[in-house]
Amino acid sequence: MNIAKSVSLFQQAKTLMPGGVSSPVRAFRAVGGQPLFIDRGEGPYLIDVDGNRYIDYVLSWGPLILGHAQPQVVRALQEAAAKGSSFGAPSPLEIELAELIRTFIPRIEMMRFVNSGTEAVMSALRLARAYTGRDKVIKFVGNYHGHADMLLVKAGSGVATLGLPDSPGVPAATVSNTLLAHYNDLDSVEQLFDEHKGQIAAVIVEPVAGNMGMIPPLPAFLPGLRQLTSAHDALLVFDEVMTGFRVHPGGAQTLYAIQPDITTLGKVIGGGLPVGAYGGRREIMEMVAPAGPVYQAGTLSGNPLAMTAGIATLKQLQSPAAWEHFERVGSRLLAGLQDAARAAGVPIQVQRLGSMFGMFFSAEAVSDWDTASGADSRRFAAYFQQMLAQGVYLAPSQFESGFLSTVHTEVEIDQTVAAAANAFAHLATESAG
Ligand code: HOZ
């Protein structure tokens, strides 16, 4: 595969941007090789600057649930851009997107739009602290909630990919109120509530972990978190930036029938433009300024372009056909991967919920950070390169999730499974040799 133009652009980019990228995982550090520079996206495909074409399962790390350059989204954006890109004043589009979100997730009675998932989470936790009058927050090892200081401790995603348990530049005092529990382990949460009685404002969780690979919750985990937070007058914050509109039309909270107090969203609700939102019970949200005293603001928040892309995207997700499609192609992909791995004698763990999936090279079930990080990362890197060489673009880290779109058809799925069969066979030969 010729990637000469990407190679040359990467050299240039490294002189201008740290590591040559605008976000760390994109640099391919965990899988070797170098990032591809992308010219354009077309439906389920990415086309790089050298003209190579890939079936894309990253989809801009989740937002592009309708695929790249989806015609209705593009048309809506063109019309909106012609009317102005940002007003710094309310527009009817904010109401339209907020209504749509509330239709899908009724628990979000009120919301505030921001510009990223990171911003949504840091604002949600400020609100949770203000509402409860407490400072401490429980997060889970391997869960990732963006790069706000207080949450940059034992985080997943790029932090895990690069093997950085913490980040320099984060003051010890800032994370002193961040308590760590283990995903899928209620005892570890209960212990923290016992040790810090009356001091814990909230438990924040990725209801389906997506940033240490994809790991669904065990049956008792989310109900247990709801019960514990309620019993201790703490808030339950669901970070659905990744799972929102992915695992179920109503998010993980609907799939598992749990009512969080605050939900954070991002990715899909911006249809590929930068956006985030946090929302929840009216009584809590009315503490946000100017309705209440909790300050949070943003120049581009609620801008008409992001709102337009979000509206055009969510409207298309109202069709049951979209969700039937995810079930059909998603189960075909999973079964194909499982069969191919079994045939090659390569142990894998695969999971899927809606249009989100994950795969680990492990013979053991994966349920938390310890088991996720115990999976074979060298095998993952080799698999990634094999898939890329055959035109399949996966996230360049085993600590990320894969995503499907409404335009990934059986054709792309079957090509992917055939490529995976070759890759598994190659891995099996390598370990035999
Ligand atoms: N938070 C995203 C991954 N889980 C961002 C990755 C990127 O854009 O590089």
For position 168, what pLDDT does the model report?
87
Residue 157 alpha carbon to ligand 1 centre in Å: 7
Residue 359's pLDDT band, with cuts at 50, 70 and 90, is: very high
Does pLDDT of 165 surpass 70? no
Among protein residues, the one whose CA lies closest to atom 8 of ligand 1:
23
The arrangement of strands across the sheet holding 402-403 comes to 349-353, 356-360, 402-403
241 lines ligand 1 (CB under 6 A): no
pLDDT on residue 166: 77
Q: What is the CA radius of gyration of the chain?
A: 21
CA gap 3, 64 in Å, rounded? 25
- Over residues 267-295, the pLDDT tens digits come to 999 999 999 999 999 999 999 999 999 99
Assigned superfamily of 4-69+320-432: Aspartate Aminotransferase, domain 1 (3.90.1150.10)
Which range, of 86-90, 91-95, 164-168, 270-274, averages the lowest pLDDT? 164-168
Cβ of 400 closer than 6 Å to ligand 1, yes or no, is yes
- 194 is known as an active-site residue: no
Statement: residue 298 has pLDDT above 70: yes
Q: Are strands 136-140 and 110-114 parallel, antiparallel or unpaired?
A: unpaired
Choose which residue among 23, 214, 265 to substitute to test ligand 1 binding: the one with the highest number of ligand atoms within 8 A of its C-beta.
23
Which residue CA neighbors atom 2 of ligand 1 most closely? Answer: 61
Which pLDDT score, from 0 to 100, does residue 433 have?
65
Return d(Cα 339, Cα 336) in angstroms, integer: 5
Closest CA to 296 of 170, 119, 133: 119
Is 83 among the residues known to form the active site? no
Residue 125 CA to residue 59 CA, distance in Å, equals: 28
| pLDDT of res. 338 | 98
Asked about 376 being catalytic, the answer comes back as no
Confidence of residue 155 (pLDDT cuts 50, 70, 90): confident
Report whether pLDDT(167) > 90.
no
Ligand 1 mean position, distance from CA 85 (Å): 25
**Residue ranges, CATH 3.90.1150.10, the chain:** 4-69+320-432
> Could you say which of 56, 136, 267, 368 is catalytic?
267
pLDDT band, residue 430 (cuts 50/70/90): confident
Ligand 1 atom, smallest distance to 23 CA: 9
Fold annotation for 71-317: Aspartate Aminotransferase; domain 2 (3.40.640)
Confidence of residue 86 (pLDDT cuts 50, 70, 90): very high
- Active-site option among 239, 261, 368, 376: 239
Residue 345 phi, psi (nearest 5): 75, 30
pLDDT digits over 392-412, tens only?
Answer: 999 999 999 999 999 999 999
